[in-house]
Every structure is written in structure tokens, then in C-alpha cells.
Structure 1
Amino acid sequence: MVIKIEDYLQPQVVATLRANLSDRSDDELAVQTEECLKFLLIMSGRSRGFIPLTSEVDEVWHELILQTMEYAELCDSLPGRKFIHHQSLAFTDYAAERSEGEIVDEFLSWIPAYVSRFGPFTPERAKYWSFCAYLTDSLGLGLQQLNEIGARAAETAA
């Protein structure tokens, strides 16, 4: 599934993102916005979960939330048709309440959710998902291995 920003965000929201995040190139901002939309699409079908995004994508999400009416409409247009709330929670606080195994399990659950909908992670896109870096650092998994895990899990679920 290819994510087209214009399918989800009104032009004035995109203009606000460009104005408020002007320290980024248009290409960087487009990728960050697409990854934010992918996150919201996945979250619309989940009851909860830790937000595994980098600060760059989280900042895009913050900007979207500030456009309250458009953000509510966006959430309603997603498959889960529910408002996706934001909670600021540092990874250290999240990790303090869980074992490393629980963290790894939750982060591994994001891989098939992403790969089955949007295809394999690329280096350009994986860098905006903090769980990719965590799993690489913690388990020594490479991006190809993460994509294989996602593809196998998606095949098993089908």
C-alpha cells in the first residue's frame, strides 16, 4: 500500500506542516509525514501500544494534532474510525515498567503490522521507527531480517 499524503491530509494542513517544520527539506518532511500516517493507520486497529516513532515523526504527529478538526477527521477516516490519542512517555519510563522480553515482543509485533500493509522497511524509512534501531541494537537483527520476520508473520496470519 502506497501512502499518498494528499489522500489523508488537506492542503492547508500540509502547508502548516511545511511552515512549522521548515528546518526539514520537502523530501524529508514528506517521508516523515508518510511514516506518521502509516503509524496512525496501524494504531487505528490497535487498542494501545507504545509509540515506536522517532522524535522527527512524533513532531509531525504533534503538528497534526494541533489542527484539531482536521486531525479528528483524519482519525475518523482511518480503518479503526477512532480518535488516536497521544501520550508523552519517554522510552526509559516505558521500559522501567516492562521486562526486556516484553519490550522485544511488543516491538516485534510492529514489524508484520508494517510489512503486511506497506511492504518491507527501507533504510530511508526504518530510521524513523525507533523499534527498528532497538531490535537491531538489542538482538543484532539487520533490516533484511526484520523484513523477513514481518513477511513470515504476515504469511502465517493469511
Structure 2
Amino acid sequence: MTPEVSASSGEGICPSQSTSKFRRLMPINDANLVDLTWAILGQTGSPGCIRPTRLPSSLRHPSSEWQGPSGLTDRLNSLCRTMRQRGASYLLVHALDEIAWLLGLRGGDLEHCPVFTAYLAVSATGQLDWFLPEATLRVSPAGGEEAVGAVRAALTANDPPGKVRQF
């Protein structure tokens, strides 16, 4: 693919899928498409196009009745075993429900859904790096600090130790 596309070349466009003569390819340099989309929607003035504010989540441990019998170490060992069997060195976990399950924590970033905003980087050797907003660690109410502390302890028990990182 060339860095410059002429309007008549059609490079990168499937003609059977593009029927409008008003469509065109536009380069987007150094732009965050999500922020750009919210800016455009905000200019329309339409109701419902206001970007919602993100409230910091409070983390908590569910009871073992809801969490299941295995703990973080068992779930992490099972995941790493599967990764090694399939030849994977690293896994980036971005699905919020999978992160909540693996860590054994629940949050409240989404209404009616017990998840929290975070990302996990898991190595096949068991190192787990947990990325979450700084506010999540600050706002944890009673029980939340214990939940985060339990995960921190489990992370640092690994060799090499995992980390909690903030974004």
C-alpha cells in the first residue's frame, strides 16, 4: 500500500462494498479516534451525545459462593499452563469480565455490571502486570483496600513478581 492514495485508484477499498461516490480515504495522523469521535458528537448538540464521566470504581472481593473454590493462584496457574501448551509467551487481557474473574475482584465501573476498568498482561511464566486507573486504588472503601492488598500479595509472590501499574 502506498502512503498516498489517489481518489481514482480505489486502493484499499473493495468496490463491491463501497457504493457511494461521496466516500473517501482520509489520513489521520497523531489523533485518538475515540476522542475525535466524542468531539464530533459533542458538536452536533444532539441529546445523548454528551460523553459520560467515568466514576472511579470501588473494588471488592465477592464471597467464595460467587467466586468459586479456586483462588487467583489456581486460575493463574491454569491460564499459564494453557498458554505454554499453545506456545504463547504473553497474553493481554482486556475483557473486563475476564479480568474480574481472573483476579477474583468485582467493581462498579459499568452500571448493573460488576466489572472495573483495567488491563492485564500475563506471561507464560506467571508474571502478571495489572494496569488500572489511579483513582481506583484511592477510592476503594472498606474491604476494597483488603481486596487490592490480597491481589498485590498474590502478584508479588510470583517469580518474577508482578506489578500493579496505574494509568
Question: Normalization by structure 1: what TM-score?
Answer: 0.26
Kindly name which structure, 1 or 2, has the bigger radius of gyration based on alpha carbons.
Answer: 2
Question: Normalization by structure 2: what TM-score?
Answer: 0.25
Structure holding more strand per residue:
2
- For CA contacts below 8 A with separation 6 or more, give which structure has more relative contact order: 1
